[in-house]
């Protein structure tokens, strides 16, 4: 049995949904289908999730939201009409949306989340209706009814252990289960969403719970590429990679798979395959526990922008017991998580996602560092990017860092930070945002040119 998840571009229109149906029909082992909300049909289009956010904002403003609600209904109606479905499914969707708009608005975040989740939920209902209309035995299954129990963490919920026990019975259902991604319910029955893009997480949870032979993640590319194809011309395809490699690349900017999605599959040893809805015969990329290593120690290079550095300096910092703990406590009090902490004996840099900071937070952080930690210097710098080299074969490979730094030098970029995890699966460089593309191109040439791969 396989669990197959289809992303936003795969279910963005009637023509795409017809492709999904053909893929499911082609392989009877595709018993559980997880769907996202309709994504963009073309480059300037608006995702249904963004339409729902506009609807939520309008409802919260108290000035009426009929126009925004109708925009969402019309999008689903156009899909249903092209699929040859009657008005019944649109009435179901509109009634659901009106019920959500009428929900309690005291907790703004929860209200917005339950509006966003309707994108996946209603698309699953529509797709199940289409499957049935073409003769497939299919049913929509609500995560609450199925027992997808999650933690009480709005926007970043995690499946609780009992969820896996509850969900395993999906394997025994007749026909095809069409399951909405992105959300679950707390033990008290409150809807909670995963991180945005969390339909990947739902698919992985279901694959783990049902002990699927394979978790297929259908998107709009034939495979995972060694570098961003929008920056590097015709990058090589990655045919096989490990969970750890994919996790590192997803974290660092590879949008093909949500970075939290691999954990359930990894823990339950379910292999994952990235495939293309528009070219389902393509082999795709297999993600497994172990693989054979090629001559190239690096399997992929990822870049991600939007980082800031909190720089702290204090003479004899290394002798002050508890300094790091107290510094991180200041960040915790502000609700800020950190990404990297490169340090020296008298200085410490904390790399954070810039979106977590505001001018007010920055001022409070620096003020507390001066008063409570009595630092010699504290300042915050912005507009950093992270470039990450990933590969299990990097472990114990001599000269790799020297090659990488030489390539960055050739790109005429300055290295602001270097960090390597103890597992040696990744090597991280901090650079200026403006240097990202030229550094990526130079690093790709260094590690993936024909000469580099052949060891010439």
pLDDT in tens, 387-401: 999 998 887 788 899
Question: How far apart are alpha carbons 72 and 122 in whole angstroms?
Answer: 11
Question: Does residue 295 form part of some domain?
Answer: no
Could you give the number of structural domains in the chain? Answer: 2
Please check whether residues 275 and 380 belong to one and the same domain.
no
CA-based R_g, the chain, Å: 24
- The CA distances from residue 456 to 57, 446, 447, 451, in Å, are 58, 11, 11, 5
- Considering the domain architecture, whether residues 38 and 149 belong to the same structural domain is answered as yes
Neighbours of 230 (CB within 10 A): 8
**φ/ψ of residue 311, rounded to 5:** -105, 125
What end-to-end distance do the CA atoms of the chain give, in Å?
A: 45
Same domain, 230 and 308: no
Identify the domain containing residue 351 by its residue range: 300-454
**37 alpha carbon, distance to own chain's centre:** 15
Please say which residue of 288, 321, 338 terminates a domain: 288
pLDDT at 42: 93
In this structure, is residue 395 part of a structural domain?
Answer: yes
Cβ-based neighbours of 108, under 8 Å, separated by 6 or more: 60
| pLDDT for the residue 451 | 44
Q: What is the pLDDT of residue 253?
A: 72
272 & 391 share domain: no
Determine whether the annotation assigns residue 346 to a binding site: no
Q: Where are the alpha helices (H) located in 252-349, listed in sequence order? A: 262-267, 323-333
**Same domain for 136 and 275?**
yes
Is 341 marked as a binding-site residue?
no
Per-residue CA distances from 252 to 221, 301, 303, 317, 448 (Å) = 18, 9, 6, 30, 19
DSSP output for 332-359: HHTT---SB--B-SSEEEEEEEGGG--H
Domain containing residue 152: CATH number: 3.40.1160.10
Domain end (from 232, 262, 288): 288
Flag whether 389 is in a domain: yes
6 is in an annotated binding site: yes
8 marked ligand binding residue: yes
**Is 151 in the same domain as 256?**
yes
* Same-domain pairing of 263 and 328: no
User: Is 210 assigned a ligand-binding role in the annotation?
Assistant: no
Contact 417, 309 (CB under 8 A): yes
Point out the residues of the chain with pLDDT beneath 50. 451, 454-456
Give how far the C-alpha of residue 26 lies from the chain's centroid of Cα atoms, to the nearest Å. Answer: 28
The answer to whether residues 250 and 339 belong to one domain is: no
Examine the domain organization and report whether 281 and 305 are in the same domain: no
Q: Could you tell me if residue 293 is inside a domain?
A: no
Provide the pLDDT for residue 340.
Answer: 87
State whether 154 and 8 are in the same domain.
yes
Q: For residue 235, tell me if it sits in a domain.
A: yes
Same domain flag for 334 and 203: no
**Can you give the CATH number for the domain in which 307 is found?**
3.30.2130.10
Cα separation, 176 vs 139, whole angstroms: 6
Q: Tell me if 49 is assigned to a ligand binding site.
A: yes
Distance CA 12, CA 42 (A): 9
Residues in contact with 322: Cβ distance below 8 Å, sequence separation at least 6, in sequence order = none
Asked if residue 95 belongs to a known ligand binding site, the reply is: no
Residue entry with tokens 């200085």: 347
Residue 53: exposed, middle, or buried by beta-carbon count in 10 A (0-12, 13-18, 19+)? middle
CA dihedral in degrees (275, 279, 283, 288; nearest 10)? 0
Domain-located, residue 294:
no
Would residue 409 count as lying in a domain? yes
- In the listed set 257, 288, 319, which residue is the last one of a domain according to the structure? 288
Query: Do 116 and 139 fall into the same domain?
Result: yes
Would you tell me the crossing angle of helices 359-372 and 323-333 to the nearest 10 degrees? 150
> Is 31 labeled as ligand-binding?
no
Q: Which of 376, 391, 197 is nearest to 300 (CA)?
A: 391
């Amino acid at each position: 049995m396989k669990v197959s998840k289809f992303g936003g571009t795969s279910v963005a229109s009637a023509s795409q949904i017809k492709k999904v149906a053909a893929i499911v029909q082609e392989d009877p082992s595709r018993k559980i289908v997880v769907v996202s909300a309709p994504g963009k049909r073309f480059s300037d289009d608006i995702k249904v999730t963004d339409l729902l956010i506009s609807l939520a904002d309008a409802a919260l403003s108290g000035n009426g939201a009929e126009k925004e609600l109708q925009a969402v209904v019309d999008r689903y109606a156009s899909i249903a009409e092209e699929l040859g479905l009657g008005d019944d499914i649109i009435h179901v969707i509109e009634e659901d949306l009106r019920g959500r708009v009428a929900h309690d608005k005291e907790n703004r975040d929860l209200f917005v989340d339950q509006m966003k989740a309707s994108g996946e939920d209603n698309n699953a209902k529509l797709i199940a209706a289409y499957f049935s209309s073409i003769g497939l035995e299919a049913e929509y299954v609500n995560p609450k009814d199925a027992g997808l129990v999650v933690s009480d963490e709005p926007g970043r919920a995690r499946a609780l252990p009992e969820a896996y026990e509850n969900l395993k019975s999906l394997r025994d259902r007749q026909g095809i289960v069409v399951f909405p991604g992105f959300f679950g319910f707390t033990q008290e029955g409150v809807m909670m969403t995963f991180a945005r893009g969390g339909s990947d997480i739902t698919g992985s949870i279901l694959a783990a719970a049902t002990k699927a032979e394979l978790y297929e993640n259908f998107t709009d590319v034939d495979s995972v590429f060694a570098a961003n194809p929008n920056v590097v011309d015709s990058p090589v395809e990655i045919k096989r990679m490990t969970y750890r490699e994919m996790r590192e690349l997803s974290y660092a900017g590879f949008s093909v798979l949500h970075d939290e999605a691999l954990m359930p599959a990894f823990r339950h040893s379910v292999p994952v395959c990235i495939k293309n809805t528009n070219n389902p015969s393509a082999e795709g990329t297999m993600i497994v526990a172990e693989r054979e290593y090629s001559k190239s120690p690096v399997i992929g290079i990822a870049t991600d922008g939007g980082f800031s550095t909190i720089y702290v300096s204090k003479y004899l910092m290394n002798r002050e017991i508890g300094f790091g703990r107290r510094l991180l406590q200041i960040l915790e009090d502000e609700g800020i998580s950190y990404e990297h902490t490169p340090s020296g004996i008298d200085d410490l840099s904390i790399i954070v996602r810039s979106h977590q900071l505001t001018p007010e937070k920055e001022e409070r952080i620096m003020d507390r560092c001066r008063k409570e930690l009595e630092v010699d210097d504290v300042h915050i710098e912005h507009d950093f990017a992270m470039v990450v080299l990933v590969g299990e074969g990097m472990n114990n490979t001599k000269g790799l860092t020297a090659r990488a730094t030489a390539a960055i030098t050739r790109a005429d970029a300055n290295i602001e930070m270097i960090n390597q995890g103890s597992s040696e699966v990744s090597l991280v460089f901090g650079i200026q945002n403006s240097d990202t593309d030229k550094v990526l191109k130079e690093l790709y040439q260094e590690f993936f040119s024909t000469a580099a791969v052949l060891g010439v």
